[in-house]
Amino acid sequence: MEYTKLGNTDITVSRICLGCMGFGNPEKGNISWTLDYEKSKEIIAHALELGVNFFDTAIAYNGGTSEQFVGRALRELAKREDVVVATKFLPRTPDEIAAGVTGQQHVENMLNKSLENLGMEYVDLYICHMWDYNTPIEEIMEGMNNAVVSGKARALGFSNCFAWQIAKANAIAEKNGWAKISAVQGHYNLLHREEEREMIPYCNEEGIALTPYSALAAGRLAKRAGEVTKRTQEDGVAKMKYDATAAEDAKIIERVEELADRYGVSMTEISIAWLLTKVTSPVVGATKLHHIDAPASATSLKLTDEDIAYLEEPYVPHALVGVMAINKPKPTQPVTWSMGK
């Protein structure tokens, strides 16, 4: 396993981050293919054996039971100082807004609940799961800074946002002497590269870590044509993200398969090896032991410049999907300009 610093922080993370959305009680959320505690613990233990020290979860995953499973397993398997734990919080709810709960209070309440779920005194990386268009960003950033000042979070991140939003958030933090955003978790893989337009250049310029999710496009970059799993059949979110561009994406998937055969490795290794040339630590989900084996092996697979160009060449622009398409600002009335006479 290779390791690196998380952006401009002093936190050392493995080049592979274990995504824990697949862990938790399926009756507590809307995901039917999640694992129970013992199976979740088995995968976490295997990841630790492979050198993975970076684990990503969220309070939204299966009603907080993902956090509970992850926290319990890590307490049983590792020393707290040897692992890096990231979790995420959601925007304020309509009920909170109606009750006058401020952004600062909301962040504090969500973090305290996550720490309770995890059974931990702090998280290493606390991430705003998506931009909250109903709460002033000043309140969110102050609340996140309070988490750092209190010692309940070591570093801060954002997920599902635009580059201008991170720039705005960090400008506000710098103006007020608050902790800044050190990591961004966006939707990025060989099939969806829209983050390359602005987010990745901005983060590279500012020393902000990139820890993208959906590294394998919900398994599409890991499976040969015709392969079917329970998740590919039942994951409605993934269908919404990728089905509309299946024909265009198939050309890229064919090239992943071709390179995998040429190198004698799995498609997962090719897809992750490409991603590792672009980002700090991709978030890779796992519901079977081998799901983490291949990403770990990918850290030692070095693609040539020709390989990278070959994989990238068929890409066509994609529309924003998922949270980025749903959670976006409402269009405003266009301004009409007149030069007059």
The one catalytic residue in 37, 61, 126, 310 is: 61
Please state, in angstroms and rounded to a whole number, the distance separating the CA atoms of residues 160 and 187.
7
Q: At what angle do helices 267-276 and 290-298 cross, to 10 degrees?
A: 50
CA 319/CA 194 separation, integer angstroms: 8
Residue 311 near residue 259 (C-beta atoms within 8 A): yes
- Cα separation values, 167 from 18, 113, 153, 202, Å: 27, 28, 21, 8
Identify whether the C-beta of residue 22 lies closer than 8 Å to the C-beta of residue 13: no
- Give the angle 38-153-279 at the CA atoms, nearest 5°: 75
Annotation marks residue 61 as catalytic: yes
128, 159 Cβ separation under 8 angstroms: yes
Closest-CA residue to 270 (of 258, 286, 287): 258
Q: At what angle do helices 137-149 and 163-176 cross, to 10 degrees?
A: 60
Alpha-carbon torsion angle 189, 192, 197, 199, nearest 10 = -50
Active-site residue numbers? 61
